[in-house]
Chains A and B, each alone.
Chain A
């Protein structure tokens, strides 16, 4: 019971609230009666009569008169109830005859002033609100469906135009009704107020009637027009001779845009929604403009210096600022003035900032490509430097760049050389971007870690440092970092290195505080220092120095005339790593210099003897301090008798010169020049000493008077010369490739006295020869071509493995072995899992090891 009461109460209250908000009780116009002659029961007195007899005051009468007046007025301004086509309600009601008009006017006066004209009418209403209500309903019932129909058209421009036309027609219709009412207003202020109120109501209704289709259409059309207009500010257009066609196109578009805009604001569509939409359009226009004009354009500022206005920014930044000011802001100002609002100068400044930040975002994303095409991309870096100023943006820059780095550079598909070259460009780009090096340090960490995995990185850097920048041809420099040598030899870059930076240098007028985002042990670098940064990225200095030693050793022994480059590089490295770390290299260089002197001195005394003997070998030697050179492989063999004789003499002279010292010959190192006299040709060839020894063995037997060319079997040579098999093989391959000897099968070689003899198997041999040439002297068979150092290392590792399996645990899986070796071998284990596995498999094949259940163990004896 109580429940129903409260329910009904609640219902009533809800109704009340609803009504207070929405006026549902406003009446519809009274249906038009067929007969309106006076005297009829329902017709009442005619409007004219009523107007003429105002004194007839009776409550019921007043009410009737009011009702009649209301009826006349409402039926006059009533909107057509249905519309079939868009323009059907566009035609205004036909001009009515004079008497109807008079009747309407008098009725209107009654309706408008019921209080004074008909004081006794108990039920009166406001005609204005009735009209706006009617308009509202008409709009919802008839215009909206029409608009929806409009948007179903395909072409966006068409949609927009028909929609606007529809709305214009509707507007005209609505305003006509209002204007009829307003005729009766004598007070102009009141009339204006009524118009304004009505417009506001109407615009509120229309402004909320955006359909998705219309929005899309408008956006599309605006986008197109705005793009056309703003195209005038493109880079190409800013050239001295502007494109006339483009200009006229732009002004056409501008006209069209403004026309649309005006009609929009007339029909009341220029409200908040439109402004939002316009902002979106302008926003995307800016994006598109920046993308179109600046993506990939990194020309340096000089290229379009003529068009720069601002001095703070250069290059693209200046152009962009210019564009925002002269094109972007201009369009916006025009649009806004049509809508009756204003643009402040501060807004324009803000847009400039927005545009510049967009450009810098673009540049940040392009940074990796900028690095790759350095130094052609200097302009791009300039843009960035002027825009990337806040720590946030710096962070964004490094994050983006790191991601690009990971994705595009640090992957197996990139060669170490390429990575290093990119790194050099990175150092330079970032240095010009940010002299403090903080940014570089932040992105470079991943790169450094990755480089440590590349075994050849150090070798490439060192050979790059040691290469001769002027002598190298483009082909030569393909596999090398010639850039480094160029930097090293650039005096201007070197001089600055000598300036000692000191924080306590109070006279330093270029002092700057450390950047806010600098790390703890930050130290401001004085210059870009490519080499220094590069070397420090290669991991521990020990490894680098070791590698440097072995490379420099090979170079010093290779017989190159000058060691200037080495001395220079050594000086550079000394500054970086300290004197003592590079002591060995120092001694090595000194050895070479000393032995030149000693060799000259000994040479003089030898010459005297040679004159007596009639021997004409020019014999030279380098005398090394053995403890200071990286492992010098010694592969002794029997040198030719004449050479051995020279060696004895040389030794004697040396011991005479340097008291209580002896020489050990490293016969396998060094170069010799041999002169070969064959039946149809003579050759002078520079080759390795062991190669000379081998070919000398072929020349020896001629005196024996054997028929035909000299034959030698591999094994005979091997025994005769007591030479290492690999060396012998290498030497034979070398002479085959020189077409001095020929392989006739069964490991026997014969001298090629005449080139024609080679014709029958020239094809095969030539192919093999070129193959050998390209492959270089080391034999392609890997296991055999192992260096002495590697052999030694394998020996040590094997010892360790045997010890481990004997003492530690009888059977071990691969991973555990690897771990033990990595931890316990003093120099660490340079092998990977795969290499160890290969090694162990070799041992298994040799029967020295067994594999059982995934564990390795020593075979039981």
Chain B
């Protein structure tokens, strides 16, 4: 018997490619979920990774940075928050 697979319709789930924490430090929602203001996860509710190694929902950290009291610091480690360039990073990981 010769078996040929002609079609393969499968199912997959996606997840953010981040190492450890799975919950946004600000809204305490899973990264794969949405921040409180968003309805759809993924493209609509991106993540933002700081150079300090902490990740947040983009909308969450933006809100935070906008506030006077934050002084532009990461809410987790109180270092000045600078975001890593995502595209480069992810590209690097793939290769």
> By the criterion CB–CB under 8 Å, are B2 and A625 in contact?
no
> By the criterion CB–CB under 8 Å, are B8 and A672 in contact?
yes
Complex CA–CA separation, A170 to B53 (angstroms): 126
Whether A709 contacts B1 in the complex (CB less than 8 A), given A626-B13, A660-B18, comes out as: yes
> By the criterion CB–CB under 8 Å, are A632 and B17 in contact?
no
Q: Which of B13, B90, B94 is most buried by chain A, counting CB atoms within 10 A of its CB?
A: B13
**In-complex Cβ contact of B14 among A590, A662, A669, A674 (8 A):** A662
**In-complex Cβ contact of A627 among B18, B41, B43 (8 A):** B41
Q: Which residues of A contact B90 (CB under 8 A)?
A: 655, 659-660
> By the criterion CB–CB under 8 Å, are A666 and B10 in contact?
yes
**In-complex Cβ contact of A625 among B8, B9, B17, B42 (8 A):** B42
The answer to the question of A722 belonging to the interface, with a C-beta cut-off of 8 Å to chain B, is: no
Give the nearest-CB partner of A699 in chain B: B3
B42 to chain A, nearest CB (A): 6
Complex CA–CA separation, A583 to B89 (angstroms): 32
Contact with A along B39-58 (1 / 0, CB 8 A): 11111000101000000000
**In-complex Cβ contact of A590 among B12, B17, B30, B40 (8 A):** B40
Complex CA–CA separation, A670 to B49 (angstroms): 34
The answer to the question of A536 belonging to the interface, with a C-beta cut-off of 8 Å to chain B, is: no
Binds B, one of A143-151, A189-197, A611-619: A611-619
Q: Which residues of B contact A684 (CB under 8 A)?
A: 6
Whether A674 contacts B32 in the complex (CB less than 8 A), given A659-B86, A666-B11, comes out as: no
Contact with B along A638-666 (1 / 0, CB 8 A): 00101100110000101110111111111
> By the criterion CB–CB under 8 Å, are A674 and B10 in contact?
no
> By the criterion CB–CB under 8 Å, are B13 and A666 in contact?
yes
> By the criterion CB–CB under 8 Å, are B8 and A658 in contact?
no
The answer to the question of A557 belonging to the interface, with a C-beta cut-off of 8 Å to chain B, is: yes
Binds B, one of A287-295, A690-698, A852-860: A690-698
- Please report which residues of chain A, range 569-587, place their CB below 8 angstroms from some CB of chain B when the two chains form the complex: 583, 586-587
Complex CA–CA separation, A671 to B4 (angstroms): 14
Report whether over half of chain B's contact residues are helix, strand or loop; otherwise say mixed.
Answer: strand
Whether A620 contacts B9 in the complex (CB less than 8 A), given A658-B42, A662-B14, comes out as: yes
B94 to chain A, nearest CB (A): 5
Complex CA–CA separation, A86 to B74 (angstroms): 125
Q: Which residues of B contact A666 (CB under 8 A)?
A: 10-13
> By the criterion CB–CB under 8 Å, are A587 and B12 in contact?
no
Give the nearest-CB partner of A590 in chain B: B40
A792 to chain B, nearest CB (A): 18
Whether A643 contacts B2 in the complex (CB less than 8 A), given A557-B11, A587-B39, comes out as: no
Q: Which residues of B contact A798 (CB under 8 A)?
A: none
Complex CA–CA separation, A514 to B42 (angstroms): 50
Complex CA–CA separation, A628 to B7 (angstroms): 27
Q: Which residues of B contact A65 (CB under 8 A)?
A: none
Give the nearest-CB partner of B31 in chain A: A627
B18 to chain A, nearest CB (A): 7
Binds B, one of A22-30, A415-423, A504-512, A675-683: A675-683
The answer to the question of A623 belonging to the interface, with a C-beta cut-off of 8 Å to chain B, is: yes
> By the criterion CB–CB under 8 Å, are A640 and B32 in contact?
no
B41 to chain A, nearest CB (A): 5
B82 to chain A, nearest CB (A): 17
- Please report which residues of chain A, range 471-517, place their CB below 8 angstroms from some CB of chain B when the two chains form the complex: none
Give the nearest-CB partner of A632 in chain B: B13
The answer to the question of B72 belonging to the interface, with a C-beta cut-off of 8 Å to chain A, is: no
Q: Which residues of A contact B33 (CB under 8 A)?
A: 627-628
The answer to the question of A124 belonging to the interface, with a C-beta cut-off of 8 Å to chain B, is: no
> By the criterion CB–CB under 8 Å, are A670 and B11 in contact?
yes
The answer to the question of A702 belonging to the interface, with a C-beta cut-off of 8 Å to chain B, is: yes
> By the criterion CB–CB under 8 Å, are A624 and B13 in contact?
yes
B2 to chain A, nearest CB (A): 4
The answer to the question of A404 belonging to the interface, with a C-beta cut-off of 8 Å to chain B, is: no
- Please report which residues of chain A, range 670-726, place their CB below 8 angstroms from some CB of chain B when the two chains form the complex: 670-678, 684, 686, 689, 692, 695-696, 698-700, 702, 709-710
**In-complex Cβ contact of B3 among A583, A616, A670, A674 (8 A):** A674
Complex CA–CA separation, A843 to B83 (angstroms): 54
Give the nearest-CB partner of A670 in chain B: B10
The answer to the question of A753 belonging to the interface, with a C-beta cut-off of 8 Å to chain B, is: yes
Complex CA–CA separation, A675 to B23 (angstroms): 45
Q: Which residues of B contact A696 (CB under 8 A)?
A: 3, 5
> By the criterion CB–CB under 8 Å, are B5 and A655 in contact?
no
The answer to the question of B87 belonging to the interface, with a C-beta cut-off of 8 Å to chain A, is: yes
Whether A667 contacts B89 in the complex (CB less than 8 A), given A626-B32, A660-B16, comes out as: no
Contact with A along B18-42 (1 / 0, CB 8 A): 1000000000001011000001111
The answer to the question of A36 belonging to the interface, with a C-beta cut-off of 8 Å to chain B, is: no
The answer to the question of B15 belonging to the interface, with a C-beta cut-off of 8 Å to chain A, is: yes
Q: Which residues of A contact B47 (CB under 8 A)?
A: 660
> By the criterion CB–CB under 8 Å, are A660 and B89 in contact?
yes
Give the nearest-CB partner of B49 in chain A: A660
> By the criterion CB–CB under 8 Å, are B14 and A625 in contact?
yes
> By the criterion CB–CB under 8 Å, are B1 and A702 in contact?
yes
Give the nearest-CB partner of A624 in chain B: B13
Complex CA–CA separation, A76 to B76 (angstroms): 138
Q: Which residues of B contact A646 (CB under 8 A)?
A: 8
> By the criterion CB–CB under 8 Å, are B15 and A662 in contact?
yes
Complex CA–CA separation, A671 to B18 (angstroms): 31
Q: Which residues of B contact A619 (CB under 8 A)?
A: 7-8, 10
Q: Which of A632, A660, A672, A676 is most buried by chain B, counting CB atoms within 10 A of its CB?
A: A660
> By the criterion CB–CB under 8 Å, are A669 and B40 in contact?
no
Complex CA–CA separation, A624 to B12 (angstroms): 6
Contact with A along B54-95 (1 / 0, CB 8 A): 000000000000000000000000000000001101110110
Q: Which of B2, B10, B17 is most buried by chain A, counting CB atoms within 10 A of its CB?
A: B10
Q: Which of A586, A627, A667, A676 is most buried by chain B, counting CB atoms within 10 A of its CB?
A: A627
Q: Which residues of A contact B9 (CB under 8 A)?
A: 559, 620-622, 670-672, 689
Whether A620 contacts B10 in the complex (CB less than 8 A), given A626-B15, A660-B86, A661-B17, comes out as: yes
Whether A587 contacts B41 in the complex (CB less than 8 A), given A624-B11, A643-B8, comes out as: yes
Complex CA–CA separation, A628 to B33 (angstroms): 8
**In-complex Cβ contact of B11 among A642, A669, A692 (8 A):** A669
A614 to chain B, nearest CB (A): 13
Give the nearest-CB partner of A556 in chain B: B11
> By the criterion CB–CB under 8 Å, are A667 and B3 in contact?
no
Q: Which residues of A contact B89 (CB under 8 A)?
A: 660
- Please report which residues of chain A, range 730-789, place their CB below 8 angstroms from some CB of chain B when the two chains form the complex: 740, 751, 753
> By the criterion CB–CB under 8 Å, are B39 and A674 in contact?
no
B86 to chain A, nearest CB (A): 6
Complex CA–CA separation, A459 to B49 (angstroms): 43
> By the criterion CB–CB under 8 Å, are A617 and B1 in contact?
no
B26 to chain A, nearest CB (A): 17
Give the nearest-CB partner of B2 in chain A: A677
> By the criterion CB–CB under 8 Å, are B6 and A616 in contact?
yes
Give the nearest-CB partner of B6 in chain A: A673
Q: Which residues of A contact B12 (CB under 8 A)?
A: 621-624, 663-666
Given contacts A586-B40, A660-B49, 13 further A-B contacts (CB under 8 A): A618-B7, A626-B13, A627-B32, A658-B42, A660-B18, A660-B93, A661-B42, A664-B15, A666-B12, A676-B1, A676-B2, A696-B5, A751-B1
* 13 pairs of residues in contact across A and B, judged by CB atoms under 8 Å: A616-B6, A618-B8, A624-B14, A625-B42, A643-B5, A643-B8, A647-B10, A652-B94, A658-B42, A660-B49, A670-B9, A670-B10, A671-B7
B-side residues, CB < 8 A to A, are 1-18, 30, 32-33, 39-43, 47, 49, 86-87, 89-91, 93-94
The 3 closest A-B pairs by CB, nearest first: A699-B3, A670-B10, A626-B13
